[in-house]
Amino acid sequence: MKKWQWTLISLLGIGMIVSQYLDFIASPPEAQMGNVVRILYFHVASAIVAFTAFGITALLGLVFLVRKQWIWDQMARVSAEIGMVYTTFVLISGSIWGDAVWNTWWTWDPTLTTTLILWFLYLAYILLRASITDRERAAKVASVYGFIAAIDIPVIHQSVTWWRGIHPNVITMQGFNMPPMMVYTLMFSFVVFLGLYAVILWISTMMAKDRDDLNDLRELARNALAKYDERVGS
Amino acid sequence: MIMLGYLFAAAAVVWVGTFFYVVALLQRQRRLRLELEDVKRMLEEIKE
Amino acid sequence: MNFWRVLWSMVGKDLRIEWRTKQLFISSLSFALLLVFLMGLVLYGSGNMTRFADAGLLWLLIMMAGLFSLNRQDDKERWDGAIYAATLVPTDRSVLFYARVISHLLFVAVMEIVLVPLYSVVLGTSIQVAWGPIILVLLMGTIGFVAVGAMLTSLALTSSLREILVPLMIFPLSVPLLLGAVEVTSSILQGNWGKGVWWAVIGAYDVLFLGLPGLLYDFIAEV
């Protein structure tokens, strides 16, 4: 491995350890919820990563449609996959939280409902990509779909909010209503999670690019060989 | 009520898992790059 | 001018095919009738259902039936690669989208004329409360649903998982529409017009999904 990669990995590892320390040792338990509040550091941070990832997918999809450079599409594709993993994590950690605090694993609360819909929307995105063999067509179609899905998310959220509403509003208009130590922990958690997202996004994009290039080259080689065989045969 | 110990352990497992996932990802990426260069070289040879 | 001529000839084509074969109509309607019958059977009439459940079930029924016929129509357009030939239209390609919306809308509307009264009879719901608002909400809701469906079927055109992907995309994307339609319909069944905000949601869906694909369709229709 190269030097910058080592640096990156060590930074990431340190961030994780510090985060673990802050989440479980340095930060206080909450007055009513006790230690369950610690799930929040993972839960909220994952939610932020998921939203960022899907936002980036939508944005890069548009950039791809305009610029027609593969790298944007590759990055959009990878970002959606990462977002999907984090959304799953949000749903699971939210369920654990819900069981501990609200005494139910699932409820049709607006935020939960929106997240579940989000999960289905991007499941469809990934399946859509995977089931179209023509790479250019897949990229275009997915970009359009990703864009439409992203602008639909606020509408969905608003509509399910009007529909019904017990999710804690931790971030209110007056800023955070939490003790400072918790705020710092949460902030640090955001940084680590977003950093992790950026690292995975970067590596996976390089891999996606290499894999696409590899497929192109193989195709090229196959065609060249076929042509060669033809010439020898005739 | 969830015990603090379980939470801690679960989070630690997730962190360690994620960390090694990233390391593995880096290695896979490197192998892919090598394979790509291999194929590139092969193509050059075919051309000649 | 050209746009409208192409649009009408495409819609005319769909209607003519349907008029001669009646294939789509018969298959979709029998599926929908079966659904109504099953609902009535498992729920044992609807004496024990709330207005809310009535409205929700009605909309699920309409969307299922609409989805079924959407898939059939998609199949039909695929015969002999007709859909690919259609991309040669001598005008803006969004005409393909609008033609699909119009013909499918007419189609689902005719199904609803049969289904909705039948639903009210089988499940014992009194839809005669107010015909005007009911027809309006049915029409607006159906337009939105058909527009979303038409866009997504063209997106999934070359996908090998089409049959499962289209519903997987339609339902999450049209959740607000579904909620709005159910909310408004249940209010109407209780004798009032329902909240303005839900009418606005339905209206916004109609405008958004009739407009947006028109802009983006050039990307989608390049096959």
- Least confident piece of the model among A47-56, B37-46, C31-40, C107-116: B37-46
> Least CB-CB distance to C175: which of A134, A141, A159?
A159
Chain A residues with CB under 8 Å of B17 CB are none
* Distance, CA of C30 to CA of C26 (rounded, Å): 6
pLDDT tens sequence across C13-58: 888 888 888 878 888 888 889 988 888 888 776 566 677 778 888 8
Residue A42 domain flag = yes
DSSP annotation of A38 reads G
Q: Please tell me the distance from the alpha carbon of residue C217 to that of residue C206, in angstroms, as a whole number.
A: 17
In whole angstroms, what is the distance from residue A196 CA to residue A83 CA?
Answer: 12
Question: How close, in Å, is residue B22 to chain A by CA atoms?
Answer: 7
Please give the Cα distance from C67 to C74 (Å, whole number).
10
Look at residue A177 in the predicted model and tell me its pLDDT: 61
Query: DSSP assignment of A128-193, as one string?
Result: HHHT--SHHHHHHHHHHHHHHHHHHHHHHHHHHHHH-------EETTEE-S-HHHHHHHHHHHHHH
Interface confidence, given as ipTM, is: 0.82
Which bin fits A104, alpha (ψ -120 to 50), beta or left (φ > 0)?
beta
C residues 147-206 closer than 8 Å to A (CB)? 151-152, 155-156, 158-162, 164-165, 168-169, 171-173, 175-176, 179-180, 183, 197-198, 201, 204
- C85 contacts chain A (CB < 8 A): no
- Is residue A153 assigned to a domain? yes
A28 located within any domain: no
Cα A91 to Cα A168: distance, rounded to the nearest angstrom: 15
The strand pairing partners of A175, in sequence order, are A172
Cβ <8 Å between A12 and B26: no
Chains in touch with B (3+ beta-carbon pairs under 8 Å) read: A
Asked if C94 contacts C214 with a C-beta cutoff of 8 angstroms, the reply is: yes
- pLDDT, residue A173, reads 40
Percent of chain C with pLDDT over 90: 16
Distances (CA, A) of A154 to A44, A159, C1, C182: 18, 8, 37, 20
What secondary structure does DSSP assign to C56-103, as a single string? HHHHHHHHHHHHHHHHHHHHHHHGGGHHHHHTT-SS-THHHHHHHHHH
Instruction: Give residue C158's pLDDT.
Output: 81
Contacts of B36 in chain A (CB under 8 A): 210, 213-214, 217
Q: For residues A25 and A20, give the distance between their C-alpha atoms in angstroms, rounded to a whole number.
A: 8
The total of structural domains in chain A comes to 1
Asked whether A214 and A45 are in contact (CB, 8 A), the reply is: no
Q: What's the CA gap between A7 and A10, in Å, rounded?
A: 5
Q: Give the minimum alpha-carbon distance from C162 to chain A in angstroms, rounded to a whole number.
A: 8
- Determine the Cα–Cα distance for residues C96 and C83; give it in Å rounded to an integer: 9
Distances (CA, A) of A53 to A146, A158, C63: 11, 21, 31
Distances (CA, A) of A63 to A58, A60, A81: 9, 5, 18
Q: Residue C154: name the closest of C207, C104, C205, C208 by CA.
A: C104
- Asked, for residue A55, whether it belongs to a domain, the answer is yes
**Average pLDDT value for residue range B13-21:** 88
| Cα maximum dimension of chain C | 56
Question: Is residue A210 a contact partner of residue B37, using CB atoms and an 8 Å limit?
Answer: no
The answer to whether residues C32 and C118 touch, using CB atoms and an 8 Å cutoff, is: no
- Name the token pair of C115: 């289904």
Q: Which pLDDT score, from 0 to 100, does residue A171 have? A: 44
Position A231 in a domain: no
The full length of chain C comes to 223
In the numeric block, the tokens 């999934």 are attached to C156
Q: Which residues pair with A176 in a beta bridge?
A: A171
Residue A96's closest chain B neighbor by CA?
A: B2
Q: Are C179 and A163 in contact (CB under 8 A)?
A: yes
Measured from the Cβ of residue C210, the count of other Cβ atoms closer than 10 Å reads 19
The alpha-carbon gap from B43 to the nearest alpha carbon of chain A, in Å, equals 6
Alpha-carbon span C86 to C208, nearest angstrom: 25
* Domain of residue A136, residue span: 36-202
Rounded to the nearest angstrom, the minimum Cα separation between C157 and chain A is 9
Neighbouring residues of C163: CB distance < 8 A, sequence distance ≥ 6 = C71
A24, two tokens: 């479980």
Query: Once rounded to an integer, what is the mean pLDDT over residues C131-153?
Result: 90
- pLDDT per residue rounded down to tens, chain A (234 residues): 678 778 888 888 888 888 877 777 777 776 666 677 777 888 888 999 999 999 999 999 999 988 889 999 999 999 999 999 999 999 988 888 888 777 778 877 777 888 899 999 999 999 999 998 888 889 999 999 999 898 888 888 888 877 765 555 554 444 456 677 777 888 888 888 898 899 899 999 999 999 888 888 888 878 877 887 787 765
Residues C168, A144: C-beta atoms closer than 8 Å: no
What was the pLDDT predicted at A174?
Answer: 44
CA C48 to chain CA mean position, Å = 29
Q: A176 or C174, which is more confident?
A: C174
Q: Which two tokens stand for residue C161?
A: 């998982």
| Dist. CA C150–CA C216, nearest whole Å | 13
Q: Which of A32-36, C108-112, C211-215, C218-222 has the highest mean pLDDT?
A: C108-112
Is residue A84, in this structure, part of any structural domain at all? Answer: yes
Count of residues making up chain B: 48
Size of interface A-B (CB pairs under 8 A): 81
